Amino acid sequence: MLRFVVRRLLLLVPILFGLSILVFVWIRALPGSPAQALLGERATPQLIKEMNHQYGLDQPIYLQYWRYLEQTVQFHLGTSITTQQTVMTEIGQRFPATMQLAFAAGLFAITFGIPLGFFAAKSYGRAFDHISMAVSLLGISIPIFFLALLLKEAFAVELGWLPTVGQMSVLINIPHPTNFYLLDALLAGNMHAFWDVTQHLILPAIALGSIPLAIITRVTRAAVLDVQNEDYVRTARAKGLAPGVVDYRHVMRNALLPVTTIVGLQVGLLLSGAILTETVFAYPGIGSWLQQGIVDRNYPVIQGGILFVAVVVVFINLLVDISYGFINPRIRLSGKVG
Amino acid sequence: MGNLTKAFAAFGLVALIVVAVAFGARTHKSASDTLVFGSSADPVALDGALISDGESGRVVIQIFQGLVGLKPGTTTVVPMLATSWKSSPNGKSWTFTLRKNVKFTDGTPFDASAVCANFNRWYNFTGSFQNPSATYYWQTVFGGFKKYDPKSGAPKGSLYQSCKVNSAGSVTINLTAPSASFLAALSLPSFSMESPTAMNKYGANQGTVDANGVFHPTGTYSTQHPTGTGPYMLQSWVRGDKLVLVKNPNYWGPPAHIQTLIFRPIADNAARLQALQNGEIQGYDLVEPEDIPTIKSDSNLQLLSRPPFNVGIVGMNQAMKPMNNLAVRQAVAYGLDREAVVKAFYGGRGVVAKEFQPPSLFGYSNSVKQYTYNPAKSQALLKAAGFKLPVTINFWYPTGVSRPYMPDPAKNFQAFAASLSKAGFKVIPHAAPWTPDYLGAVEEGKAQVYLYGWTGDFGDPDDFDGVFFRTPQKQWGFNNPAIFNILTKARDESSLSKRIALYKQANNMLMNFLPGVPYVHTSPALAFDKNVHGYVPSPVDIQYFSSVSIG
């Protein structure tokens, strides 16, 4: 097991190195530059030249990359061009909100995705199956920003039930020792704030969770359909076991294995989807922060932010792999052989 | 029903209850002493000297005040921290009488030495503070700094010379050259008076320069302790979430109506509108033209218009023949269907421009020569000047840009090219990315006919006519000493009535000489809850919230 973990950790080095080059080159391939974004219509060629010099952007690209790499390995992700705060400081302020949102979206997707998929499989070919498949198809195909607009129009503007922007009402003040607002509200013992933060989470979580929900529903349905035709399920039924017991002990337990893997893979999707969701909901997480960075061509923020998110995704996938190694010994064996 | 089904049903029920309770707990709170404004982004910093963007200025102008202010909704200079002023006969010395009994929010007095401390702070900036992105307005109005740094990009030499304390209540600013236009500029957030004590205490001028030459403030002044004399003061600021201002209890003027003023950054336009409809914010700026019908049809909302303060121009470079011929320039002016373009592409927010400066600014002539679309007249002018039709012109337009005065440059170009074709011209299109290619080509004098425009910085005609035509410039390619002289004289004249007369005369001269054809001024819109009163949109984005009330 240790060998497996060490091998996976070593693999991270080339992955992260490749990732850093990719992010670095991609950002410089974007049209526009920080100077143009900051100077607007006053961006004369002379001013642009001067600003590029100021920020070292007129140096050969390999030198720029080398300096970036040098600083990155020392955990210096640079300083935001607009706010002059270090990128690490800003990530520390923004990331908890994104984690909270991603967690809520994941919870929504799992809570509703697995039962939907299960019942769809159980009523295979009937109306409920068709409806749930149609809903999951919509979930995948509707762009997040559009779904967000629809949800806000219905539940906020028309019905007035839920808020449309932010993480908490501006009139509520609580201390933020952790920057996880739900936790902060509980720590402050302020249940009103807790409900307020929960309300602010509902619509963004549904919008962000819609794609994972659809995927989980479909995978669960397929897995349940597969498993319930297996010999051991037929045998269990033939033994006269109650249908609920068969479903719980034999069908779901086995069907949930592929679902677990899929859930692990959704983390990347949730974090990338957060950019759109947070922007549309003005949710102060890492996604809206990155979006503003892209608008401003704030290279350190985009570079540092994307690298940070990528590292988080890579590490979470590593954790999923390792946990899978525990669940399924064959994975470990293949690691040993390979 | 099996156990598993029961479990799922129970789980779904719990989820529904959670959602229902959350819905049930939602209450609409709207307090008459709190106003939430949806901004498009966080301010960069709360230190007037170091900002040039609108969102920073919007907040800074509530906390800080300058020596002069603007009459709400206009560009007319009115007393603020100075109650009166006069210039020396040579126009180089300006003496300000200061308002008495004014204190900064840290309790220190506002007096002549505080004014000089601020001017000297700006003039003595070094290192990255001299970067054009850090001190844009100082460099626009005053030029360079005490210590010239060729690497910084700041110009050499400064309009500012010195500041003299005459008494606690009187101060003289000495300039190196006569300039009247600097007075209006003093109303900008960038020239706000800040507490010298607080700036020292919280490190407004402290920072380090990293290996890339980028300055990083290490003090907390501009993020936590901005200290001015305005009707509001900072209570808290969480970037990306909210910036909270509260009423200054010791304000020298009429107290603000609203106790708490909150700025909430919402980058997405549609999200700002929905937040307003849902009562989470009570107002926002930068309304998209397509949202205007929705706002107008909502009885709970109101739409306010900002007076136009920009201009879209079709420029002509006289260094490139045949644009040196006045008849050709007149033919272009008569051949541009400006009315149709403004009607088609500006969503009802544009007016046809007749002069190079917006009508809200003093010096607007209102009696210039008019060039209404008349293709037959264009053709006649060209023929009379001895040209064989069609006359070929190279018409440039930018790509990858949207400015308030040209939301979609390609559309403007297509419409103008079509109308010019009917007027006896053969139009050869040239498209280039806005920066650096397009602006580079235009400013280097390589474009013959081109789309151009300008958004004003401050309420002085020199910021429009002067920027374009006070000196010879390659993009216009002409040398007309009469125009250069009158615009220089108008800038340096200290009497306002004489300045107005000079600019009116200059605008008449310009529209006869036709270095270009102004074609549009646009009027941006703001949206508010219908219960918000007293917000007066300013042409130059200087809006005081102290006059705003809810109810």
Partner B contacted by A284 (CB < 8 A): yes
**Residue contact B26–A83, C-beta within 8 A:** no
**Residue contact B238–A119, C-beta within 8 A:** no
Name the residue in chain B with its Cα closest to that of A84: B216
**Residue contact A163–B278, C-beta within 8 A:** yes
Contact A1, A332 (CB under 8 A): yes
**pLDDT score for A196:** 92
Cβ neighbour number for residue B139 with a 10 Å cutoff? 21
**Residue contact B274–A149, C-beta within 8 A:** yes
When CB atoms are compared, the residue of A41, A115, A163 closest to B8 is A115
On the question of pLDDT at B377 being above 90, the answer is yes
Of residues B165 and A327, the one with the higher pLDDT is B165
Cα separation of the two ends of chain B: 57
**pLDDT score for B238:** 85
**Residue contact A165–B25, C-beta within 8 A:** no
Report residue A108: phi and psi, to 5°: -60, -45
Lowest average pLDDT, out of A236-245, B75-84, B281-290, B333-342, goes to A236-245
Report residue B280: phi and psi, to 5°: -80, -25
**pLDDT band for position A335 (50/70/90)?**
very low
**pLDDT score for B134:** 75
* DSSP-based three-state secondary structure for B11: helix
The count of CB pairs under 8 A between chains A and B is: 199
**Residue contact A165–B271, C-beta within 8 A:** yes
Of residues A138 and A208, the one with the higher pLDDT is A208
**Residue contact B26–A161, C-beta within 8 A:** yes
Rounded CA separation A291/B400 (Å): 19
Q: What is the ipTM of this complex?
A: 0.72
Chain A residues with CB under 8 Å of B213 CB are 54-56
**Residue contact A288–B242, C-beta within 8 A:** no
**Residue contact B262–A42, C-beta within 8 A:** no
Chain A residues with CB under 8 Å of B262 CB are 170
**pLDDT score for B135:** 82
Chain B residues with CB under 8 Å of A32 CB are 400, 435
* DSSP-based three-state secondary structure for B314: strand
Task: Give per-residue pLDDT as tens, A184-228.
Answer: 999 999 999 999 999 999 999 999 998 888 888 988 898 888 888
Rounded CA separation B300/B293 (Å): 13
When CB atoms are compared, the residue of B22, B277, B436 closest to A157 is B277
Of residues B84 and B403, the one with the higher pLDDT is B84
Name the residue in chain A with its Cα closest to that of B151: A50
On the question of pLDDT at B283 being above 80, the answer is yes
Cβ neighbour number for residue B462 with a 10 Å cutoff? 24
Cβ neighbour number for residue B329 with a 10 Å cutoff? 22
**pLDDT band for position B25 (50/70/90)?**
very low
| Closest CA relative to residue A263, chosen from A153, A95, A117 | A117
* DSSP-based three-state secondary structure for B81: coil
| Closest CA relative to residue B103, chosen from B241, B225, B248, B222 | B248
**pLDDT band for position A326 (50/70/90)?**
low
On the question of pLDDT at B419 being above 80, the answer is yes
Peptide bond into B249 cis (omega under 30): no
Helices first, then strands: H and E counts in chain B: 17, 23
In A94-113, the residues whose Cβ lies within 8 Å of chain B are: 94, 111-112
| Closest CA relative to residue A299, chosen from A17, A18, A16, A33 | A33
Shortest distance, CA A291 to any CA of chain B (angstroms): 9
Range A286-293 contact pairs with CB under 8 angstroms and sequence separation of 24 or more: A286/A91, A286/A94, A286/A95, A286/A97, A286/A98, A287/A98, A288/B240, A288/B267, A289/A90, A289/A94, A289/B240, A291/B267, A292/B41, A292/B267, A293/A80
Q: Are strands B34-39 and B283-284 parallel, antiparallel or unpaired?
A: parallel
Q: Which amino acid is at A318?
A: L
Partner B contacted by A245 (CB < 8 A): yes
Name the residue in chain A with its Cα closest to that of B443: A44
The pTM of this model reads 0.79
Lowest average pLDDT, out of B208-222, B312-326, B345-359, B532-546, goes to B208-222
The crossing angle, in degrees rounded to 10, of helices A286-295 and A299-327 is: 140
**Residue contact B136–A42, C-beta within 8 A:** yes
Q: Is A221 left (phi over 0), alpha (psi -120 to 50) or beta?
A: alpha
| Torsion over CA: A96, A99, A105, A110 (sign) | negative
Mean pLDDT taken over chain B: 88
| Closest CA relative to residue B157, chosen from B183, B184, B123, B185 | B123
On the question of pLDDT at A328 being above 80, the answer is no
Which DSSP string do the residues of B466-519 spell out, in sequence order?
HHHHSS--TTT----HHHHHHHHHHHH---HHHHHHHHHHHHHHHHHH-SEEEE
**pLDDT band for position A37 (50/70/90)?**
low
Average pLDDT value for residue range A309-314: 82
Average pLDDT value for residue range B78-88: 94
**Which residue in this structure is represented by tokens 């086995």?**
A254
Task: Give per-residue pLDDT as tens, B423-457.
Answer: 999 999 999 887 667 877 888 889 999 999 888 87
Rounded CA separation A41/A53 (Å): 19
On the question of pLDDT at B341 being above 90, the answer is yes
**Residue contact B278–A164, C-beta within 8 A:** yes
Tell me how far CA of residue B164 lies from CA of B95, B96, B126, B374, in angstroms: 9, 11, 22, 58
**pLDDT band for position B543 (50/70/90)?**
confident
**Residue contact A280–B270, C-beta within 8 A:** yes
Task: Give per-residue pLDDT as tens, A262-293.
Answer: 877 777 778 878 878 888 898 888 888 888 78
Of residues B26 and B207, the one with the higher pLDDT is B207
Task: Give per-residue pLDDT as tens, B92-114.
Answer: 999 999 999 999 999 999 999 99
Chain B residues with CB under 8 Å of A84 CB are 45, 214-217
Q: What Rg do the C-alpha atoms of chain B give, in angstroms?
A: 27
Q: What angle do CA B205, B206, B210 make, to 5 degrees?
A: 120
When CB atoms are compared, the residue of B22, B266, B278 closest to A195 is B22
Of residues B1 and B511, the one with the higher pLDDT is B511
Cα separation of the two ends of chain A: 13
Partner B contacted by A180 (CB < 8 A): no
By residue count, chain A amounts to 338
Query: Mean pLDDT highest for which of A152-166, A226-240, B107-121, B530-544?
Result: B107-121
Percentage of chain A modeled with pLDDT above 90: 12
**Residue contact A90–B152, C-beta within 8 A:** no
Partner B contacted by A39 (CB < 8 A): yes
Shortest distance, CA B318 to any CA of chain A (angstroms): 21
**pLDDT score for A337:** 40
When CB atoms are compared, the residue of B26, B153, B439 closest to A43 is B439
When CB atoms are compared, the residue of B212, B241, B400 closest to A31 is B400
**pLDDT score for B1:** 42
Residue B427: CB partners within 8 Å, gap ≥ 6?
B393, B395, B417, B420, B421
Task: Give per-residue pLDDT as tens, B303-316.
Answer: 998 888 999 999 99
Average pLDDT value for residue range A115-134: 87
**Which residue in this structure is represented by tokens 């700094």?**
B145
**pLDDT band for position B317 (50/70/90)?**
very high
Task: Give per-residue pLDDT as tens, B211-253.
Answer: 444 445 567 898 889 999 999 999 999 888 899 999 999 999 9
**pLDDT score for B213:** 46
Rounded CA separation B506/B518 (Å): 15
Task: Give per-residue pLDDT as tens, B148-206.
Answer: 877 766 778 899 999 999 999 999 999 998 887 788 889 999 999 999 999 999 988 87
**pLDDT score for B121:** 94
